[in-house]
């Protein structure tokens, strides 16, 4: 077997990461979350040690997902039929990813909560007094805009499939409304969980791609925030 040089080894390693990104939805989600967290970190003045902890945490989650994919691929390569031990190997590898992800959430909470809490509280207090009719108006506007975008792109039907995901847009719009109005981080967290479950259901049923679901969620959040900002300026 030919011995690889450093450049070839590096190239193979990068090819492995690219393969997992192309084939594994979970790693794409982890990468998107990592980009979002790193973007937020630029504005909250983390110390050097905190930044190191953040980078190591992100690396831990991504490495766990890479190892999980490697184990699943190796097991599937050597086994033609399902075997209980193969299932255990896959479940344990998936469990490692879950532990790493939950640990990352806890670490992120300790790193960002105190820095983002004052800003979030200020936003919530400013919009909490908005008219309750605004909620209905926001949902109607989101529905109309999503259907309009689908009509322009010509993909999917108004209520199923296509770009962007209407269910995801409404779910994350609802999450944004709950966050702005409830003044409760527990309720807001439940709203986020429900929105993520809706998005996951659209992916699992193969009705939408990750891009369509993510686009719908982002549009729902941005439209809702924009409407609240406009109301705050003129009401």
Are 174 and 83 part of one and the same domain?
A: no
* Residues noted as catalytic: 65
- HSE-up of 181 (CA within 13 Å, CB side)? 17
Are 110 and 1 part of one and the same domain?
A: yes
Q: Whole-angstrom Cα distance, residue 129 to residue 122?
A: 12
Domain with 42 in it: 1-118
Does 232 count as an annotated binding residue? no
Three-state SS at 131: coil
Segments in the chain forming alpha helices (H): 6-23, 25-41, 48-78, 84-127, 133-153, 166-182, 185-204, 210-234
Question: Is 139 among the domain residues?
Answer: yes
Taken in order 192, 186, 94, 10, is the CA torsion positive or negative?
positive
User: Of 36, 49, 26, 20, whose CA–CA distance to 96 is shortest?
Assistant: 26
Does 8 count as an annotated binding residue? no
Does 50 count as an annotated binding residue? no
Task: Identify the pLDDT of residue 63.
Answer: 92
pLDDT band at 159 (very low <50, low <70, confident <90, very high): low
Written as six digits, the tokens of 185 are 């981080």
Are 73 and 2 part of one and the same domain?
A: yes
Are 232 and 164 part of one and the same domain?
A: yes
Question: Is 167 among the domain residues?
Answer: yes
pLDDT tens sequence across 55-72: 899 999 999 999 998 888
When comparing pLDDT for 64 and 187, which is higher?
Answer: 64
Does 212 count as an annotated binding residue? no
Summarize the confidence of residues 205-215 as an average pLDDT: 80
Task: Identify the pLDDT of residue 234.
Answer: 56
Q: What percent of the chain has pLDDT over 90?
A: 4
pLDDT band at 203 (very low <50, low <70, confident <90, very high): confident
Report the CATH number at residue 1: 1.10.287.3610
pLDDT tens sequence across 92-138: 888 888 899 889 988 988 888 777 666 555 555 555 555 555 666 67
- pTM beyond 0.85: the answer is no
Cβ neighbours of 107 (radius 10 Å): 17
pLDDT tens sequence across 25-34: 788 888 888 8
Question: Is 123 among the domain residues?
Answer: no
Question: Is 134 among the domain residues?
Answer: yes
Written as six digits, the tokens of 75 are 């097991």
Residue at which a domain ends, from 72, 95, 118: 118
Are 114 and 78 part of one and the same domain?
A: yes
Are 108 and 133 part of one and the same domain?
A: no
What lies within 8 Å, CB to CB, of 147 at 6+ separation is 158, 166
Cβ neighbours of 22 (radius 10 Å): 9
Residue at which a domain ends, from 99, 118, 137: 118
Are 100 and 167 part of one and the same domain?
A: no
Residue at which a domain ends, from 63, 89, 118: 118
pLDDT tens sequence across 170-183: 888 888 887 877 76
């Amino acid at each position: 077997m030919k011995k690889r040089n450093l450049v070839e080894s590096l190239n193979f390693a990068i090819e492995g990461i690219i393969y997992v990104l192309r084939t594994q939805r979970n790693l794409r989600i982890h990468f998107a979350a990592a980009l979002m967290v790193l973007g937020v970190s630029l504005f909250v003045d983390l110390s050097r040690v905190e930044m190191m902890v953040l980078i190591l945490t992100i690396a831990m989650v991504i490495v766990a997902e890479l190892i999980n994919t490697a184990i699943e691929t190796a097991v599937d390569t050597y086994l033609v039929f399902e075997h209980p031990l193969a299932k255990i190997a896959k479940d344990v590898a998936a469990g490692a990813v879950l532990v790493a992800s939950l640990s990352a959430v806890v670490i992120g909470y300790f790193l960002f909560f105190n820095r983002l809490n004052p800003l979030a509280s200020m936003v919530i207090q400013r919009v909490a007094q908005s008219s309750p009719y605004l909620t209905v108006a926001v949902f109607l506007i989101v529905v109309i805009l999503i259907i309009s975008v689908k009509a322009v792109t010509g993909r999917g039907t108004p209520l199923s499939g296509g770009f962007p995901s209407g269910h995801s847009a409404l779910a994350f719009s609802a999450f944004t409304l709950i966050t702005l109005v409830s003044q409760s981080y527990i309720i807001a967290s439940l709203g986020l969980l429900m929105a993520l479950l809706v998005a996951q259901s659209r992916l699992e049923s193969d009705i939408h791609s990750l891009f369509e679901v993510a686009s719908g969620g982002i549009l729902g959040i941005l439209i809702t925030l924009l409407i609240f900002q406009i109301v705050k300026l003129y009401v």
